[in-house]
Chains A and B, each alone.
Chain A
């Protein structure tokens, strides 16, 4: 089954404790992206990756890191989480934008609470 998986689905942590949210897709997509979703603000892009070893900042990259060592995986790293990073996070993947197959497939989401 074609899918995007994220782990963990729920996480409660404390300020400053490093954490990683994993994302994996089995559709051989080149393009992967991380979003956060907050009430009233819609989806905001954190980082995206056009292919292996190629990553770029989105609209709200501060406080986050990513890596793309393999095509299928795109982990999101919070080196020192703060309460304003409490949010719902989505990973998404697709074929390269602009090549006629632009549908993004989303993971199930990770609800993060930073105390």
Chain B
């Protein structure tokens, strides 16, 4: 199958840390992407992982475990502007992107 699973919605507090998980099930794998999408706007690129491990980019980090079909996006020092949907997408063996439905992150003061 080509299922991408991520939580529908999460809530966190300003200044805190939140981890958004993503699991995928495909026979071929060519990388895992995370995109941010504010309501009514286009998705924008956050990260790309193709090897196992943690990639850190400022307040945002992304982790991949290929053997477990698992990734997470870690957001630190949350700000109100981080309220958005976070989309996980897996690039399959044909180099096509399979998208999850997205996780809506709500930040409370």
CB within 8 Å of B: which residues of A?
A: 35, 40-45, 48, 58, 90, 97-98, 102-109
Interface centre among A35, A43, A108 (most CB of B within 10 A): A43
Contact A108 B45 (CB under 8 A): no
The complex places the Cα of A97 from the Cα of B29 at a distance, in Å, of: 12
Contact of A42 among B30, B40, B101 (CB under 8 A): B101
By a CB distance below 8 angstroms, the chain A residues around B41 are: 108-109
By a CB distance below 8 angstroms, the chain A residues around B99 are: 35, 42-44
Interface of A is mostly: loop
A59 to chain B, nearest CB (A): 8
A33 to chain B, nearest CB (A): 8
B24 at interface by CB-CB < 8 Å: no
A56 to chain B, nearest CB (A): 9
The complex places the Cα of A46 from the Cα of B19 at a distance, in Å, of: 31
By a CB distance below 8 angstroms, the chain B residues around A41 are: 101
The complex places the Cα of A44 from the Cα of B100 at a distance, in Å, of: 9
Contact B48 A102 (CB under 8 A): yes
Number of A-B contacts (CB under 8 A): 48
Contact of B96 among A40, A48, A109 (CB under 8 A): A48
The complex places the Cα of A86 from the Cα of B9 at a distance, in Å, of: 24
By a CB distance below 8 angstroms, the chain A residues around B7 are: none
B13 at interface by CB-CB < 8 Å: no
The complex places the Cα of A58 from the Cα of B95 at a distance, in Å, of: 12
By a CB distance below 8 angstroms, the chain B residues around A106 are: 42-44
**Extra pairs beyond A90-B43, A106-B42 (18, CB < 8 Å):** A35-B99, A42-B87, A42-B100, A42-B101, A43-B43, A43-B99, A45-B97, A48-B96, A58-B96, A90-B42, A98-B91, A98-B95, A102-B48, A102-B91, A105-B45, A106-B43, A108-B41, A109-B41
Identify 18 residue pairs between A and B in the complex whose beta-carbon atoms are under 8 Å apart, listed by A's number. A40-B8, A40-B101, A42-B87, A42-B99, A43-B89, A43-B97, A44-B99, A45-B96, A58-B96, A90-B42, A90-B43, A97-B30, A102-B31, A102-B48, A103-B48, A106-B42, A106-B44, A108-B42
